[in-house]
Each structure stands twice: as C-alpha cells, then as structure tokens.
Structure 1
Amino acid sequence: MANMSTYHFVRSFKQITGRSPIDYINKLRINKAFSLLKEGKFNVTEVALNCGFNDVNYFSRLFKKYNKMSPSEAKKIIK
C-alpha cells in the first residue's frame, strides 16, 4: 500500500517515529489497555482481549515493559 518494500517501509517508519512499526502499534495498544484499566469496568484478561492480545501472559509482559508495572499493579494504583 505504501508502494515500497517492507524493508524500506520499516526503515522509513523508524526514522520518522523512532520506533519500529510493531513497537509503535504495541505502544498504542498498551496505552488503550491502561485507559481501560483506569475505567475499572474490566479485569486484566478482558482488557487484554479488548486490546487485541490473545495471550494474557504476553500482554502482561508488554504492559510491564512499557509501564514499569504489571497490569494488576496498575489497576490497584489507579483505584
């Protein structure tokens, strides 16, 4: 769609944003997850599934990578 090779697209994207495309998308998904946890309507599993993560363990690892705390820790702090 961008009319360039995958390699060139990834390189250009990283130059512009400072992140790889997958890192950029994951950051958006984790930000959405954080806002859903703030609402308090969903448990961690529901938040992970709502944000497109099929594996809750993977979601938890990424969440901790970006926020320096686990989703359950964040949920406790937010309340």
Structure 2
Amino acid sequence: MSEEEKLDQRLAVRVTKTEKDIFEAKAKQEGKTASQALLLLVRQYISKGDVGDERLRKVEEELAAIKKHLGELQASGMKIAS
C-alpha cells in the first residue's frame, strides 16, 4: 500500500461471539484495537503468507525486548551473568 492510499474500503467477516470476544481481548492485551489487529493480519497475508515468517518475526521481537530489558537492568547497576 502506498502512503497516499486512503483506508476507505471495508471488509466484513462473520464470526461467532466467542471468536469475536477472544479476538478483541487478545488485540487489547497486545495494545491494539480489533481493527488494527485485522489490518495487520491482512497485510501479513498479502505480503508473506508464510506462517514461519510470522513466528520468526515474533521471536525476533521478543529477543529484542529481552535485550532491552537486560540493558536497562545493567544500567541500573544489576550484574547480569553471561
């Protein structure tokens, strides 16, 4: 999608109430709205389509968060074993 394209189109999908509730709760847990989570899924589906790529991306994000946290702990004076 180019930066000049507007998000002016809609997709509709029917799900069960349970699916909807769980999806919205998970999105909220990740700090996203349901719309943001769906848009992310659509863009991933279009660009990758490979579940392995998504798993790798998540692992890389988690590793970066761990490294950041370790850096913060070290900066606070805590010694970290190597």
- Given the two structures, how large is their TM-score scaled by the length of structure 2? 0.33
